[in-house]
Chain A
Amino acid sequence: MDGKVLTVIIGMMIVTYIPRMLPLAILSRINISKGLLNWLSYVPVAVLSALLAPEILMKDGQLQINLSNTYLLAAIPCFIAGFYSKSIFLTVVTGMVTVVLLDKFI
């Protein structure tokens, strides 16, 4: 097994476990400051958007905002499915099916 992959897995394990564990372990004893909590409340939307935008708006390192970008087109029904179903499963399936259909017909 690759030593780099093992190091990555252990590092990921630690930084994934700590945010899950800390509030349940210490929140009853320590109060996090309101300002930090407010900043943290913006991190999820910020990071998800930072990850998503290049995936659907760029292709091969170039900005691609046009109708030949199937990912961008598929994102539209995906957002609608997410908004109405609030289900990760249904949103993912909608996205995957749309991409397959777009690849077939465009």
Chain B
Amino acid sequence: MVRSEIRSELKEGIQAALPVVFGYFPIGMAFGVLAVQSGMTTFEIFLMSLLVYAGSAQFIAAGLLAAQASIGTIVLTTFLVNSRHLLMTASLAPYVRNINAKLLSLLSFWVTDETYAISMGAVVKQQKSKWYFWGLFITSHLAWLSSTVLGSVMGNFIPEPQRFGLDFALPAMFIALLVLQVRHKKAIAVIVISAALSIGIKLNLAGSWNIILATVISATIGVLIDKWMEKSSQSLSA
């Protein structure tokens, strides 16, 4: 690739990151404020944003740390929450065959819900070079780092974050992600079952087991519904 092409792809990636930057700022700042109040230091928040880089999991971790949850619970919950990225990068894979596997393994670190949406929207229209992704991914990560650190600094001066609706940022993000994930009616059945199980388990069992148990059971029920529907459609056609 010639230099002017590299520059224009890089620039295109950076421009494509703008909606992500706007999206990250309120969420990142809300996380920073709440994480400080749940006992994390600004440096720990910076390190988490740098190395983990996953909005909802970071919120959950801050909450679980404050609730004295075990390391295993926090890490396992993070894994379940972030396992959704598996399906995202899997769907992205066929469109980025022009980039070698080693570099893709590295670039995948920066695939979040938001950067995935932008990337997918771009590659289905036209193949993108690695420079586009560098521009998009680094700009987005810088926005996440600066917004969470800024929030943590502000958090020391905001005595009541709930007055600004900040503590609703996480449930609101769950709602947004949930709506984005629903692609068929069976998913709604799984959502209802998982919600009921989560609450039922939480009311009867101490700790944060409700999330892991409800997820594993309801996803399995989803698969069973699929199998059962397959069978009944076969017997109908037979």
Pick the residue among A24, A46, A50 that contacts B92 (CB under 8 A). Answer: A24
Task: Flag if A44 contacts B87 (CB, 8 Å).
Answer: yes
Task: Flag if A78 contacts B175 (CB, 8 Å).
Answer: yes
Inter-chain contacts of A15 with B (CB < 8 A): 75-76, 78-79, 82
A residues 62-103 in Cβ contact with B at 8 Å: 63, 71, 74-75, 78-79, 82-83, 86-89, 91-100, 103
Task: Flag if A42 contacts B218 (CB, 8 Å).
Answer: yes
Interface size class of B (residues with CB under 8 A): 35 or more
* Complex Cα gap A5–B19 (Å): 31
Inter-chain contacts of A56 with B (CB < 8 A): 171
Rounded to whole Å, the gap between the CB of A18 and the closest CB of chain B is 8
Task: Flag if B52 contacts A16 (CB, 8 Å).
Answer: yes
Pick the residue among A21, A22, A52 that contacts B178 (CB under 8 A). Answer: A52
* Complex Cα gap A94–B169 (Å): 10
Chain-A contact segment, one of B1-9, B36-44, B124-132, B149-157: B36-44
Rounded to whole Å, the gap between the CB of A97 and the closest CB of chain B is 7
* Complex Cα gap A32–B226 (Å): 18
Task: Flag if B93 contacts A23 (CB, 8 Å).
Answer: yes
Is B65 at the interface (CB under 8 A from chain A)? yes
* Complex Cα gap A41–B47 (Å): 30
A1 touching B44 in the complex, CB below 8 Å, given contacts A8-B71, A21-B105, A35-B223? yes
* Complex Cα gap A41–B105 (Å): 22
Rounded to whole Å, the gap between the CB of B105 and the closest CB of chain A is 4
Pick the residue among B40, B85, B93, B202 that contacts A19 (CB under 8 A). Answer: B85
A residues 8-39 in Cβ contact with B at 8 Å: 8-13, 15-17, 19-25, 27-28, 32, 35, 38-39
B residues 168-191 in Cβ contact with A at 8 Å: 168-182, 187, 190-191
Task: Flag if B96 contacts A24 (CB, 8 Å).
Answer: yes
Is B236 at the interface (CB under 8 A from chain A)? no
Interface size class of A (residues with CB under 8 A): 35 or more
Task: Flag if B178 contacts A49 (CB, 8 Å).
Answer: yes
List 17 other contacts, CB 8 Å, given A46-B214, A47-B194, A92-B27.
A16-B82, A23-B93, A24-B104, A27-B93, A42-B218, A43-B219, A45-B181, A50-B194, A50-B197, A50-B218, A51-B198, A55-B171, A78-B172, A83-B179, A88-B27, A88-B180, A98-B165
B residues bordering A, Cβ < 8 Å?
Answer: 19, 22-23, 26-27, 30, 40-41, 43-44, 47-48, 51-54, 56-57, 60-61, 65, 71, 74-76, 78-90, 92-93, 96-97, 101, 104-105, 107-109, 111, 113-114, 162-166, 168-182, 187, 190-192, 194-199, 202-203, 210-211, 214-216, 218-220, 222-223, 226
A residues bordering B, Cβ < 8 Å?
Answer: 1-2, 4-13, 15-17, 19-25, 27-28, 32, 35, 38-58, 61, 63, 71, 74-75, 78-79, 82-83, 86-89, 91-100, 103
21 contacts between A and B (CB under 8 A): A7-B71, A9-B52, A20-B88, A22-B86, A24-B89, A25-B104, A38-B223, A45-B190, A46-B215, A49-B194, A51-B174, A51-B198, A52-B175, A52-B178, A54-B198, A61-B202, A71-B168, A88-B27, A96-B164, A96-B168, A99-B168
